């Protein structure tokens, strides 16, 4: 008899992983602690409960990376996408669902599957034997979090996001900004030019502080507390402590010379640090924030050089347990310290329902191949799936690793395509055409292995 696959966590990732494995003929035991063990965010004991938005975001598979991920999941017979399509609500170009019927439908399908057993209990240890996928999400129980930390090291598991906004490099105006590390530190030219610097005059700084203080802020949810964040205060809190606080913190102008205006020292400087190995994404250093998304866009575009910035993600601070995956997971999402265990979903450092479900789908298929004694090639980084899994398992900078949504900045550039805003439509179509062909090729290879 085939050895079972144990999946811990019945959210988007765990539900999708269970579906993929069960459909391949693998017996699955899906362990879900709810409703016996509650969380502050969930209301029911249903699998795949949507605790925040009811939207899976854009469904455009030609011009949007999230829509492309939808397409790839549908091509792989994904449970979450199939069920979402059945419970779709009008939402323009987005895929929004009627959340309660959606979760009830996912639960019913998994419970009806002959290869799936749903077991309602808390798993509080990392087993040393057997095949396991842990997809416990941002609300991993304290006892399991302690077990993960004991195996991986206490510094490898974060319990809160302190996320700085991430900007597409191509949208930064380099006629105003420049590349330089403070005091030109570094042994190589790459290290000496590791930061993008955006200078401010005193007047620009004062206007920026005014806008920051007046901006709309999000409130902490029940179960969260601002007391956790003394080591990474939101920039608006720093500004409230004094108008010069940021200028002596993340916006200090020391050790930098503006080559566009070398005779005048900037009053303040906003720095952006490379966020991925491709150099297509940069995060705004020290700019974690509780500003609402619309306010962030308006305020950050006041920074010289970022007037037309496009954001791969905006900033935030909230409860979210996640691994430092680039240091802990191998390319097949296995825990290096205990390879019988895979991690999937939001705990790996992806952000969003779609991304979580996608990593569950991938973990399920990789586990199936391993259980059946086969081996599949690496998922092409040219696909949305591959771009995400490459990012979390090594493409991101481990020292600054934070949860990430799928976006075209994670994809290898296309040769011969026009850059910048004007070439974006053709470039994005090129990304999605390439991804669809490569993803179908990978699916065919994976299915041949398990046939």
Pick from 31-35, 95-99, 200-204, 415-419 the range whose average pLDDT is largest.
200-204
Tens of pLDDT, residue by residue over 205-220, are 999 999 999 999 876 5
Task: Give me the residue label for tokens 């500004």.
Answer: 239
Q: In this predicted model, which residue has the larger pLDDT, 447 or 114? A: 114
Peptide bond into 60 cis (omega under 30): no
Q: Using the 8-state DSSP alphabet, how is residue 377 labeled?
A: P
Would you place residue 141 in the very low, low, confident or very high pLDDT band (cuts 50, 70, 90)?
A: confident
- What is the end-to-end Cα distance of the chain in Å, rounded? 17
Euclidean distance between CA atoms 358 and 344, whole angstroms: 9
Residue set of the binding site = 9-14
> What CATH superfamily classification does 5-156+323-448 receive?
FAD/NAD(P)-binding domain (3.50.50.60)
Euclidean distance between CA atoms 233 and 235, whole angstroms: 6
Percent of all residues in the chain with a pLDDT value above 70, rounded to a whole number: 92
Task: Give me the residue label for tokens 């459909």.
Answer: 23
Indicate if the pLDDT at residue 420 is higher than 70.
no
Which part of the chain is CATH 2.40.30.260?
162-319
Tens of pLDDT, residue by residue over 23-59, are 999 999 999 987 776 665 556 779 999 876 678 989 9
Residue set of the binding site for FAD = 9-14
Would you place residue 232 in the very low, low, confident or very high pLDDT band (cuts 50, 70, 90)?
A: low
Contact in structure between 105 and 83 (CB atoms under 8 Å): yes
Pick the CATH number of 162-319 from 1.10.10.10, 3.30.70.260, 2.40.30.260, 3.30.70.890: 2.40.30.260
Indicate if the pLDDT at residue 123 is higher than 60.
yes
Tell me the average pLDDT across 373-386: 94
Tens of pLDDT, residue by residue over 72-87, are 999 999 999 999 999 9
Are β-strands 131-134 and 338-343 bridged in parallel, bridged antiparallel, or unpaired? parallel
Which part of the chain is CATH 3.50.50.60?
5-156+323-448
């Amino acid at each position: 008899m085939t050895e079972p696959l144990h999946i811990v966590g019945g959210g988007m990732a765990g539900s999708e992983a269970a579906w993929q494995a069960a459909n391949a003929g693998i017996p699955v035991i899906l362990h879900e602690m709810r409703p016996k063990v509650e969380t502050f965010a969930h209301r029911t004991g249903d699998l795949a409960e949507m605790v925040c938005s009811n939207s899976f975001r854009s469904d455009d598979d030609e011009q949007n990376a999230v829509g492309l991920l939808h397409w790839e999941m549908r091509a792989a017979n994904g449970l979450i996408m199939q069920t979402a399509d059945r419970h779709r609500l009008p939402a323009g170009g987005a895929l929004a669902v009627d959340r309660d019927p959606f979760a009830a439908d996912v639960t019913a399908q998994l419970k009806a599957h002959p290869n799936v057993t749903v077991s309602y209990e808390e798993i509080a240890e990392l087993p040393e034997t057997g095949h396991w996928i842990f997809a416990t999400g941002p609300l991993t129980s304290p006892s399991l979090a302690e077990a993960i930390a004991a195996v991986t090291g206490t510094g490898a598991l974060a319990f809160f996001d302190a996320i700085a906004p991430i900007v597409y490099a191509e949208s930064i105006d380099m006629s105003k900004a420049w590349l330089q590390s403070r005091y030109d530190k570094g042994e190589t030219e790459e290290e000496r030019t590791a930061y993008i610097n955006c200078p401010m005059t005193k007047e620009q700084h004062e206007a920026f502080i005014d806008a920051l203080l007046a901006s709309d802020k999000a409130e902490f949810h029940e179960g969260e507390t601002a007391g956790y964040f003394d080591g990474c205060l939101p920039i608006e809190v720093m500004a409230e402590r004094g108008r010069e606080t940021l200028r002596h913190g993340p916006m200090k102008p020391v050790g930098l010379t503006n080559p566009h205006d070398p005779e005048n020292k900037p009053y303040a400087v906003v720095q952006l640090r490379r966020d991925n190995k491709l150099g297509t994404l940069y995060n705004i250093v020290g700019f974690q924030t509780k500003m609402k998304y619309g306010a962030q866009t308006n305020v950050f575009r006041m920074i010289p050089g970022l007037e037309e910035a496009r954001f791969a993600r905006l900033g935030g601070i909230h409860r979210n347990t996640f691994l430092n995956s680039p240091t802990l997971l191998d390319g097949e999402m296995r825990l290096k310290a205990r390879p019988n265990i895979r991690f999937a979903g939001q705990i790996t450092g992806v952000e969003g329902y779609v991304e979580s479900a996608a990593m569950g789908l991938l973990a399920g298929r990789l586990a199936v191949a391993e259980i059946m004694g086969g081996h599949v090639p690496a998922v092409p980084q040219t696909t949305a799936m591959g771009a995400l899994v490459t990012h979390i398992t090594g493409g991101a900078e481990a020292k600054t690793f934070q949860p990430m949504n799928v976006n075209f900045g994670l994809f290898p550039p296309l040769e011969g395509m026009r850059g910048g805003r004007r070439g974006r439509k053709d470039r994005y179509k090129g990304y999605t055409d390439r991804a669809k062909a490569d993803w179908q090729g990978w699916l065919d290879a994976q299915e041949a292995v398990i046939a």
